[in-house]
Structure 1
Amino acid sequence: MSTIANAGEGSHFAGSREELCAEAARRTGLDDFGKPDFHEGLDRLLDELDGAGLSSQGAIATRESILGHLTGRLRSIDGFKRHADAMLRPVVRPLIVTGIVRSGTTALHKLLSMDPQFQGAEHWLCAAPQPRPPRSAWADNPDFRQSKSILDAMIAQAPEFLDDHGMAVDTVEESLNLLAQRFCCNMFPSQFVVPNYDRWYRTQDDTPSYRHFADNLRLIGANDPDRRWLLKNPTDTLSLREVLAVFPDAMVVQTHRDPLQSIPSVVNLIGAAHRMFCGENADVARVYAREEEFWELALRRADEVKADHPGQVFDVQFTDFVRDQIGFVQRIYDHFSLDLSVEAEDAMREWLAANPRRSTTMQRFTPEDFGGSSGVLKERYAAYRGRYGY
């Protein structure tokens, strides 16, 4: 019997890499995973998952999630070989949105994606990387239908992801979903309590992950190679040096929000993922402690890198975005000498009208709601809050 197939009777993830890879190969009919540099991260993750407090259903969902990244990797490597010419094309001057989670990155990303000068990686193409077909053909694409079914099931279990993250199968998704193919990624320590993996991840050079990610962009954009890329990933703040090593001409927008508001909101959102995987075993106090420490490190690293790249990162405030979204976008375009066409502005205004800001997203949480301390949070972020006027 499979060591982890019967997850409800006690899963055993440790040592299961070969089994999982074999299952991913069976599902796709492919067997080339490319460079084995993803083995270490996957092994480290699997070694800790048995002690991560997963519920029976959470273990099943975790296994499927890992298999999803493995099948996605197989699809990517196959696509890289099939579209070798596309792999030679540069990713020119992408616009990248980053910043601490819950500082407006998702809404800004979705809003900017209304501009037809940009292309992004839609959710379903992150799950099944391939040259983007015409949108009119998506509904009949088996990969699109499967991705929609999986996402619908996840949202049914954790509707917070739809309310707070705006997830939809046919809209742009953040880079984390493609970066996870290398299993050296913040997705995993943010979803699971895996402290050893987390410590290892923070010491890694992310350059190989972003190179693999760039190849995925070339693959997805193979049919539209000249259109500028629009990307978004809050964790790019931690790895900004590697981001700029792989995309040296990138235009980076970093959003900022007072950590006294953003950190509790981050924990409220990520806590939903922990409850999905761990049920009543979810330890939100541990989630809070990890996120409070992680984002201070990420923001500090970003500021260190920005000092060496003056003007390449445009710092903007969440409160300014809330007050005037179109004016906020115009400031970004002016900074990077981009053209905001009438067509793009009209599409953005239509999106804003169809997606009004939900009052629930303005709900205020405090560190004390999650077992933390406002005083400790203020002290940890004192330097950051001083730099950005909080």
Structure 2
Amino acid sequence: MAAIPTASQMLASSGMPAELAAGTLPGLTAALAALEQEKGLSKDGLARVLAQFEDNLQRLTAIATDRTAHPEICDVKIDRPVFILGLPRCGTSILHALMGADPQVRTPLQWEVAAPSPPPDVATFDSDPRAAGFDDYVAENFVGAWEDVLKAHPIGARIPQECGMMLETAFQGINPTMLFRLAGYYKWYRDADTRFGYQIHKMWLQHLAWKNSRKRWVLKVQEHAYHLPELFSVYPDAILVQPHRDPVTVMASISRLIEVIRSVSFTEIDRAALGRELLHLWHDGQVRSMAWRKDNPHVKVHDLRFKDIVSDPVAAVRGIYAHAKIEFTEETKLAVQRWWEDNPANKHGQHKYELADYGLTRKQVETVYADYIDAYGEYL
């Protein structure tokens, strides 16, 4: 098995500026400590973890280098960004893509988050060769065991990217847990002060918007629910949107997705253990967000039903725009309709899952999520 380097060794080899290295060190240290304890990874899985960690550091170093060369990036304003949060598998990706189809809205795209340097330029944005390179990577790698990922989660150069791929460059995001389990790192992340992560997140948005800005940013990832105080410390004018769905369906679907994602890195997957892990992991985030919402009633959150998103996506987006004070134009309407028509459900095949496959019952899920169901029952 490959030797696991220390956090200091990885940071030194990345060439990251000292200030950013200091902020990244706690999370990277926690991730590597958890990796030392993770016994289920295959040889290839361990190599995949280390390559992912190195890529995270390299991407952050790249945007820091560009920022030093072009200090005006620091002056880019991020005005009233819209954050979509909630449980996984409840329509967040659909909403992100629907709103991202609007020409006045900016979402981070998967290719530019994967290869951010040099900063994307509006003049070449539609023809940037990094986009084709990303699609080539997907075509080459998302085959075999990983092919099922595409049935559940859209992947492609021009598809909006989740915030997790930016937060993980600061090692203050949940992606390492989703990809590689790393239970110790999840415990660290859950209880950490992640303000540094959101400062890095803002650096990313400024970087991507410098030469390609639009009126508003729309962003999403479920893990924002864990750390809303830190999010608002960096984005005090943030606007929140939260779709909801029956947690029983959510747990079955996300368990299958994470099983597929981890399958290439683990020698075997204990489905029942995975079900228990994710059942409580995602509930942790809802406990945090429900408490924060109760303590901050002045922040109005736009709640909506997953069922309403899929039954009338135009009306769903129109409601969000009214909440966020974004102009809903005829061009917006046509863009939303066009995206919906071009992206039917099961476009890449059917994502099949059963709750019982993961050792869970409806009663178990409803018991754990009783507080969530009580709080948001009208939206389920």
Q: Same fold (TM over 0.5)?
A: yes
* 1:12 paired residue among 3, 8, 12: 3
CA distance in 1, matches of 2:121, 2:184: 40
Who is 2:305 aligned against? 317
Shift of 1:135: 6.4
Mark the CA change 1:358 to 1:380 in structure 2 (over 3 Å): closer, same or farther.
same
Q: Pick which of 211-220 and 151-160 moved more.
A: 151-160
Who is 1:178 aligned against? 166
CA distance in 1, matches of 2:132, 2:30: 32
Shift of 1:380: 0.8
CA distance in 2, matches of 1:329, 1:103: 15
CA-based RMSD: 2.3
Q: Give secondary structure in 2 for the equivalent of 1:299.
A: helix
Shift of 1:163: 2.0
Who is 1:296 aligned against? 283
CA distance in 2, matches of 1:276, 1:291: 19
CA distance in 1, matches of 2:351, 2:55: 33
CA distance in 2, matches of 1:226, 1:108: 18
Q: Normalising by the residue count of structure 2, what TM-score does the alignment of the two structures yield?
A: 0.91
Who is 1:67 aligned against? 54
Matches within 5 A, 1:237-276: 237-276=225-264
Residue identity in the other structure for 1:314: H
CA distance in 2, matches of 1:362, 1:281: 21
CA distance in 1, matches of 2:243, 2:123: 30
CA distance in 2, matches of 1:250, 1:31: 29
Q: Pick which of 61-70 and 169-178 moved more.
A: 61-70
Alignment of 1:218 with 2:206, yes or no, is yes
Alignment of 1:365 with 2:354, yes or no, is yes
Matches within 5 A, 1:94-133: 94-130=81-117, 131-133=119-121
Shift of 1:257: 0.8
Q: Percent identity?
A: 23
Residue identity in the other structure for 1:103: C
The 8 Å contact of residues 49 and 180 in structure 2, kept in 1 or not, is answered as: no
Q: Give secondary structure in 2 for the equivalent of 1:173.
A: coil
Shift of 1:22: 5.3
Residue identity in the other structure for 2:101: M
Shift of 1:31: 6.6
* 2:70 paired residue among 67, 79, 83: 83
Q: Pick which of 262-271 and 156-165 moved more.
A: 156-165
Q: Give secondary structure in 2 for the equivalent of 1:357.
A: coil
Mark the CA change 1:313 to 1:135 in structure 2 (over 3 Å): closer, same or farther.
farther
Mark the CA change 1:384 to 1:351 in structure 2 (over 3 Å): closer, same or farther.
same
Q: Give secondary structure in 1 for the equivalent of 2:192.
A: coil
Who is 2:33 aligned against? 47
Matches within 5 A, 1:337-376: 337-358=325-346, 363=352, 365-366=354-355, 368-376=356-364
CA distance in 2, matches of 1:145, 1:326: 30
CA distance in 2, matches of 1:137, 1:258: 39
Mark the CA change 1:193 to 1:52 in structure 2 (over 3 Å): closer, same or farther.
farther
The 8 Å contact of residues 38 and 182 in structure 1, kept in 2 or not, is answered as: yes
Shift of 1:102: 0.2
Q: Normalising by the residue count of structure 1, what TM-score does the alignment of the two structures yield?
A: 0.88
Q: Pick which of 234-243 and 42-51 moved more.
A: 42-51
Who is 2:181 aligned against? 193
Mark the CA change 1:361 to 1:313 in structure 2 (over 3 Å): closer, same or farther.
farther
CA distance in 1, matches of 2:300, 2:120: 29
Who is 1:161 aligned against? 149
Q: Give secondary structure in 2 for the equivalent of 1:99.
A: coil
Q: Give secondary structure in 1 for the equivalent of 2:143.
A: helix
Who is 2:217 aligned against? 229
Mark the CA change 1:362 to 1:144 in structure 2 (over 3 Å): closer, same or farther.
closer
Mark the CA change 1:118 to 1:100 in structure 2 (over 3 Å): closer, same or farther.
same
* 2:196 paired residue among 208, 215, 226: 208
Shift of 1:186: 0.8
The 8 Å contact of residues 53 and 281 in structure 1, kept in 2 or not, is answered as: yes
Shift of 1:183: 0.9
The 8 Å contact of residues 118 and 229 in structure 1, kept in 2 or not, is answered as: yes
Matched residue count: 373
CA distance in 2, matches of 1:35, 1:364: 41
The 8 Å contact of residues 32 and 74 in structure 1, kept in 2 or not, is answered as: no
- In structure 1, runs of 5+ residues without a counterpart are 1-9
